[in-house]
Chains A and B, each alone.
Chain A
Amino acid sequence: MSRQGRPQDTRKVSGELFSLTYGALVAQLVRDYEKDEEVNQQLDKMGYNIGVRLIEDFFARSQQGRCHDFAQAADVLTKVGFKMFLGVVPTVANWSAKGDEFSLILDQNPLVDFVELPETHQGLLYSNIICGVIRGALEMVQLEVKVWFVQDQLRGSDSTEIRVKFLKKLEDAVPAGED
């Protein structure tokens, strides 16, 4: 996190506080909404709102340019984006034959360090906010995508896997001069 002339950078929040905060958020949502599906939807919406703002921060801080294709976008998303904000680099795998879908395999997920899902909420996608963030961020660079959880370690699978599918390029939103 290096940026010139920004005095606040010396403050860092502990990762555990971040996990705790997110946990409190999810717990509150679970209390507010009865069904796990609704909580998942809310998390996705919140993630979307974060994503549309986070993308500008991403560009302001990295010197990243526009990606030429979806594969490059996947690369930049994992190696630069995830690294910058979550400190982990997921693996990109399981590309579809057409090259329009891929999976992100997360070995470590800083959001779920101390979390165990109770029996009553096995349908809860605890880290669904990440799906929303990816969707929001990519929409701001004119890529409409569908993002969903395929496997979740919290729900008993071996690994945490998020699938990203390219839907379409939002041609009318492309800023003038960018192709």
Chain B
Amino acid sequence: MTVLTNPENYPVSLKFARLRVSINERIMLLSMFHSIYAISVKLSPAKHSSGIQCLEADSFKFYCFQTITGVKFIVVADNKQQKVEDLLKRIYELYADFVLKNPFYSLDMPIRCEHFSTNLTRFIEEN
């Protein structure tokens, strides 16, 4: 409130966004997705089918890319967003570079690598 009443701070810009899901909730939701992914493989009438690659909803699309090693990359994008598959491949490359080549990162831990985040945001902004 003190920020709003002090005229020196004008103009103030307020950004309203959806409340971000907490890390623990995220982990829980994604582990459920991991199981759903496995179920989708079993449900498929065709043999050797891949799992869920794209989940379409009203207001968003949910993309998943699984690597041969079992790592899944997930992107939640706007309905009209194009070329998300390219984005997923690029994220894989960035992961292989900035996360795995960081000697202080242990496998299967949450990723807290600045280089990875910076390069990722930069790539998303450019495209």
A65 beta carbon closer than 8 Å to chain B: yes
Contacts of B11 in A (CB 8 A): none
Are B37 and A140 closer than 8 Å at their CB atoms? no
Interface size on B, residues (CB 8 A): 25
B48 beta carbon closer than 8 Å to chain A: yes
Are B95 and A141 closer than 8 Å at their CB atoms? no
Are B100 and A173 closer than 8 Å at their CB atoms? no
Once bound together, how far apart are the Cα atoms of A59 and B69, in whole Å? 9
A176 CB contact (under 8 Å) in B51, B90, B100: B51
Are B70 and A52 closer than 8 Å at their CB atoms? no
Most chain A beta-carbon neighbours within 10 Å: one of B49, B50, B71, B96: B96
Cβ distance A176 to chain B, nearest Cβ, rounded Å: 4
CB within 8 Å of A: which residues of B? Answer: 37-38, 40-41, 48-51, 66-71, 89-90, 92-93, 95-97, 100-101, 107, 123
CB within 8 Å of B: which residues of A? Answer: 3, 5-6, 52-57, 59-61, 64-66, 140-141, 173-179
